[in-house]
Amino acid sequence: MNIIPLVIAEVRNGKMKKASQECFSLAMNLASGSPVTVVIAGSEPEKYVNMFSGASKVYLLNDKNKNGYNPKVYTESISSIIDETKSDVIMMGSTVMGKDLLPRLAVRYRSPIMPDSIMVTKKDNGISIKKAIYASKAFEEYFYFESEHLFISTRVNVFPVKSFEGTPEVISRDLAGDGYHVREFSQSKGATIELTEAMIIISGGRGLKSSENFKIIEDLAQVMGAAVGASRAAVDAGWKPQSYQVGQTGKVVSPQLYIACGISGAIQHLAGMSSSRCIVAINKDPNAPIFKIADYGVVGDLFQVVPAITAEVRKGKE
């Protein structure tokens, strides 16, 4: 089966989203020699063309007036490119913008969409896609073989980024249109690394006992270059905003390293972080459920263990 992928690349705050590069690598593997198209929309999109070496075409949708993300304009502009290139598999990272834009395109084409995919494989007569279901307690595999168009969003930090050779044809167009605009995607005050894209996440739970004690894990996050997360219990207690929450009702993350501090391991929290590459749990309760999925566990007082880890990491850096 030959497929013609199109990747929608997202630029935010002057940086290309890692999820877009992951999507592109996946698309190149699925294409197996078929042309791959990349669409970059935003202000000064030409700055990012070299990130997509190996693509057949790169469309630059230039937002000269810096209007920001406009769902209607983006949907119409990208639809015309899909028709022009006859692309049949349209891919984007499962980001905030991806969760808004990709369903709009799928509705426009009356086609299926597979959100938050964790495995995409091309078969002889179709495409196999795996995703987590029932709060990540199980996985389900879907098979598509007759759809004229298929829309796929991919979970961040799941697919590897690879390098390819080849100079794409670059086609520039201007974005214009009326309607409402999304001026910005803002992060919570104090947040420096987005949770869903972080390679290292350090989360705190009920065991921290207060909002002030979050400084213990924030210090460790700072020396490790990590993002800070929180369990639902910590968020419900008002210690951190909801944007920090990891779990079924929060954010689903897949970092290389996830350190859970004072988190018991309720099923709704595990649903948001169980796909992490390596899980380290620090809890004084040896029977805490978090230890059942942890790769490494430390049974001890986090108020002693975490500062000790911070000191060792800082010493190693020095």
- The CATH class of the 195-317 domain is alpha beta
What's the pLDDT score for residue 199?
93
Pick the CATH number of 5-174 from 1.20.950.20, 3.40.50.720, 3.40.50.150, 3.40.50.620: 3.40.50.620
Q: Classify the C-alpha dihedral 211-215-220-225 as positive or negative.
A: positive
Residue 137 burial (C-beta neighbours within 10 Å; 0-12, 13-18, 19+): exposed
What's the pLDDT score for residue 287?
95
What are the start and end residues of each CATH 3.40.50.620 domain in the chain?
5-174
What's the pLDDT score for residue 66?
76
Q: Which residues of the chain have pLDDT under 70?
A: 1, 135, 176-192
What are the start and end residues of each CATH 3.40.50.1220 domain in the chain?
195-317
Which residue, chain included where needed, has tokens 């190996």? Answer: 54
What's the pLDDT score for residue 192?
59
What's the pLDDT score for residue 249?
87
What's the pLDDT score for residue 186?
60
